[in-house]
Structure 1
Amino acid sequence: MHFGLTDEQRMIIDTTRAFVEAELYPHEAAVERTGHLPMEVIREVQAKAIAAGLYAANMPEEVGGAGLDTLTWLLYERELGRANYALHWTCVARPSNILLAGNAEQRERYLYPCIKGEKWDCLAMTEPGAGSDLRGMTASARRDGGDWVLNGTKHFISHIDIADFAIVFMASGEEDTPRGKKKLITAFFVDKGTPGFHVRDGYRNVSHRGYSNGVLAFDNCRIPDAQVLGEVHKGFEVANAWLGATRLQVAATCLGRADRALGHAVQYAAEREQFGQTIGKFQGVSFKLADMAMELKAAELLTWDAAWRFDAGCVTEADMSMAKLKASEVLAMVADEAIQIHGGMGLMEDLPLERIWRDARVERIWEGTSEIQRHIISRQLLRAVGG
């Protein structure tokens, strides 16, 4: 693994950071204050992101994306991650890679409009009673002639308010295994406005203001067989093949926010004076900065290593889990310590620290809780010795 960055990578970092600071930061205060991201702001910033070549940059060149390798893509994600989540995720959208699993007709209908900024997608897996146990989902799909009939509920579905369609995972059957019956899962494209598909307001969230969630209710929602994504009963295979790097994406955006918080802490420690000297000279503060920098570096190395392994074809689930786990927990630690260094001012809305601190909490839950990541890591260790 080569630790140096190429000229192209440095250019992408510089370009993305400049865009974030010029086009996203100015809107943060309003989004945080209102909890709402107006469509006129979305369209304005989206147009600038498209013109700058930053929109849908996660996609391959052959479908209109930037064709970034995984490491370069994550360096780009880290810079976007510095800003309010709703702003960077919506205005500089990165359509889900699972759209690449669609056939030619599905790509024309769903993938290309998302890359062009004409549509937004969302993923619907989580259910009120299932959580991380996706095999425990109860929302179902049954065949009826040449159609499928969907019933059930999904919740915590991010940005469904602006999404034009959802990629929905449903229990579509069962199979016998040595451990008993196991549910089979199928993925479907479901357009907003389809009869029987209802979108309801979700929950008020302490993290990521302006980035909404919703509840999806399916009541005998009928869709044609042509809207199956991938193969019938192979929903998990589709997800595993195309969503593998989402944990690394979460890790990278965590790194961006942690780096922003550390930057504020270092600057404040170098300027704030108490008892006749800058507070950075006090060991109680300087040691905090040292620990923050060290932990952030460790999280970065785990993430970049997993990215390199992903492109080399030798990444493991544990590699990605370690990166996501470390980055999300380091973000929480850095945000908390940055506030401590600032004292009371750290909790004021004048600085982004209280937002970064609030936003950090969800990162240890979504895309697999910290406990799930530890389970994945330990399972790989034990399997190696027959445990």
Structure 2
Amino acid sequence: MSENVERITSWLKTFAQTRVNFRLQNDRRCIQPHVILELGRQGIFAIQIEKQYGGLGLSHYESCKVIEQLGGIDLTIASMVGQNNMGIRPIVNFGSQQLRDEFLPVLATGQMLTSFAMTEPQAGSHIQGITSTIKKTAENKYLLNAQKMWIGMGSWCGVTCVIAKHSGEQQIPNSMTACIVRNGTPGFSVGEEQLSIGMRGSVQNHMLFRDVVVPDSDIVGKVEEGYIIANDIMQFTRLGVAAMSLGAMKRCLVYTIRYASRRKINTGLLIDNTATKMKINACRAKISAVESLVYTTCELLQQSIIIPEIHMVAKITGTEFLGDVVDDALQLLGGRGYSENNLLAYFFVDARALRIFEGPSETLLYYCGQLMKLRSRRTKVFAHLKATDLKSYLEELDSVLQSSSLGSDENFACSARGKMTCWLVLLATLRLSNITRVLPEYSLTEAWILNRIETQMQQLRLEAYNNLLREVDTQEILNSFANVDIEQVIPDEECDMDRLLRRKI
């Protein structure tokens, strides 16, 4: 790790201990202004902006080290920094010289914040489902119409990068264009804040763009290549989410070990209990696996090798394992874990959001499995990971699926293949990491991953597993549970139930 990154991570730790009040941030639903100002002064918002614009110009490896440290401090602050960088990245990688000169200096220091607007009411991780449009109406002018939701940093930012479908004379399937929209632009308005159970210190808003005029100079990248920009941001964000999850896992395990080493139970110290040892070893294996994956991916990026499946696996396993680790920590701490003053409660609710943000685990598992159905994709992924022998596990999985009724369900088959890909990518990156540096926990982690692979295979071979795919009589369930179908009718604007959850729309 470079001296620059060591300085930044050391400063972050000191700053978090002396200047950040996490409970106040949570109760007030707002990150304190001095926190944002100090992060800006230290260049935390500019980790990948070039030094000539006032940024830190960090490599992928160094950036993930900083994000990991932020995740170990507070997931809300880490997510806020990540969301801001989602808006910065299109300008850094695809923006014109004019846009870079105008925005990067002020974004680098935190004088202005930014956001990335892609999600819509009917299109979350399914980018091809967006209905927003951008259409050329006159020379050097475009007209943007869009309704966006759950936009992180929405009401705090000074400029927003928007993805919309390009509407032209010749309709090209999935043709999209990216543009930037400044605050105060006629037709652009920021809607209500969407309150969440976690990440309470940050904001998410609706955004409405009605006949917003976008000059040609505010188009980001090339017209009709917005899909490339969106995918670039997704790859970067998924790796970043895995890195912040890694930092949070490490902090939760520190609390677990510290408490278990001091807590006496009727058989002695809690840490000497067999069940406790098993939990701690499983947590250590999960942390080691994700750490190897994150930094192996960084090394591939330095070689300009981008493999979407690996980024998806990083996001899936990082967030799912964080959920396991923080839940185990809270359980072992008992009543102390459930107490607000011990901070684990904040990690618990914040971690839950990460399994949904930037693509829910189920969606990514399906998409990953769909890609890995192609033998050409398997060859490419495992060739880059120097683990072509691991393809045999996917072939065995295909055979198991084909020999049972499970294989006839495409959704199930893709998800199962995606899950197996997760274990295999973790195993491959662990082995690669052990070549470059000896990992003391290598044997433990490898054995744990191999056990997960075998467990999935055995589970699929069980005939009883087929029962999970039987048809569901949803109306019978709703009728049976009618006594607990309670809906608030007292007028309360802030607590209105989502229309898709109501009995009648």
Given the two structures, how large is their TM-score scaled by the length of structure 2?
0.69
For residues 183 and 373 of structure 1, what CA distance do their matches in structure 2 show?
19
Calculate the aligned-residue CA RMSD, in Å: 2.4
Q: Report the alpha carbon displacement of residue 114 of structure 1 after superposing the two structures with TM.
A: 0.6
Q: Which residue of 2 aligns with 1:98?
A: 90
Structure with more relative contact order (C-alpha pairs < 8 Å, separation 6 or more):
1
Residues 46 and 91 in structure 1, CA contact (< 8 A), matched pair in contact too: no
How many residues of Structure 1 are paired with residues of Structure 2 in the alignment? Answer: 374
- Describe the SS at the equivalent of 2:340: coil
Mapping 1:32-71, distance limit 5 Å: 32-37=26-31, 41-42=32-33, 44-71=34-61
Give the aligned partner of residue 16 of structure 1: 12
Residue equivalent to 2:105: 112
Q: In 2 relative to 1, CA 6–233 (structure 1 residues): closer, same or farther, beyond 3 Å?
A: closer
**Partner residue of 2:25?**
31
Deviation at 1:176, TM superposition (A): 8.1
Q: Aligned to 1:182, what secondary structure does the other structure show?
A: coil
Counterpart of 2:214 in structure 1: which amino acid?
Answer: I
**How far apart, CA to CA, are the structure 2 residues paired with 1:385 and 1:102?**
33
User: Letter of the aligned partner of 1:348 in structure 2?
Assistant: S
Whole-angstrom distance in 1 between the partners of 2:239 and 2:130: 25
Q: Secondary structure at the match of 2:48?
A: coil
The equivalent of 1:352 in structure 2 is 343
- Percent of residue pairs bearing the same amino acid type: 24
The amino acid that maps onto 2:69 is: E
Mean CA deviation greater in 372-381 or 137-146 = 372-381
More helix by share: 2
Q: Which amino acid aligns with 1:16?
A: L
Structure 2 match to 1:149: 143
In structure 2, what is the Cα distance between the partners aligned to 1:31 and 1:210? 5
Q: 1:379 to 1:175 in 2, by over 3 A?
A: farther
Partners of 2:76 and 2:350 within 8 A in 1:
no
1:71-107 CA distances to partner (integer Å, 9 max, x unpaired)? 1110111001123344345579646211112112111
The 1:279/1:187 distance shift into structure 2, 3 A limit, reads same
Larger radius of gyration: 2
Amino acid at match of 2:14: A
Contact 1:128–1:155 (8 Å) recurs in 2: yes
Whether 2:210 is the aligned partner of 1:216: answer no
Counterpart position of 1:165: 159
Distance (whole Å) between structure 1 residues aligned to residue 375 and residue 124 of structure 2: 28
Moved more, 13-22 or 353-362: 13-22
Give the conservation status (yes or no) of the 8 Å contact 2:186–2:212.
yes
The CA distance in 1 between the partners of 2:42 and 2:170, in whole Å, is 52
Deviation per CA, 1:80-138: give whole Å up to 9, x if none: 11233443455796462111121121112222211122111100001101222211111
User: After superposition, what is the alpha-carbon deviation per residue over 1:176-226, rounded to whole angstroms, capped at 9, x for unaligned?
Assistant: 89xxx6231111111111111111113211121111100011222222222
Which structure carries more strand by proportion?
A: 1
Q: 1:315-369 CA distances to partner (integer Å, 9 max, x unpaired)?
A: 3111111111111111000010001001122111011111111111121111122
Residue of 327, 335, 343 corresponding to 2:326: 335
| 2:124 is the counterpart of 1:128 | no
Q: Is 1:185 aligned to residue 176 of structure 2?
A: yes
- Quickly say closer, same or farther: Cα 1:152–1:201, change in 2 above 3 A: same
Larger displacement relative to structure 2 (53-62 or 97-106): 53-62
Deviation, structure 1 residue 16: 3.3
**Secondary structure of the equivalent of 1:183?**
coil
SS state at 2:135 partner: strand
Q: Is the CA contact 1:98–1:243 (under 8 Å) kept in the aligned structure 2?
A: no
Q: 1:112 to 1:213 in 2, by over 3 A?
A: same
- 8 A contact 2:8–2:66 mirrored in 1: yes
Contact 1:175 1:182 in 2 (8 A): no
Alpha carbons of 1:385 and 1:224: their partners in 2 closer, same or farther (altered >3 Å)?
Answer: closer
For the residue of structure 2 that corresponds to 1:127, the secondary structure is coil
* Distance in 2 separating the partners of 1:313 and 1:151: 35
CA pair 106-53 structure 1, distance change in 2 beyond 3 A? closer
Unaligned stretches of 5+ residues in structure 2: 379-505
TM-score by length of 1: 0.89
TM-aligned CA deviation for residue 260 of structure 1: 1.1
Is the alpha carbon distance of 1:105 and 1:9 closer, same or farther for their aligned partners in structure 2, counting shifts above 3 Å? closer
AA of the residue aligned to 1:265? T
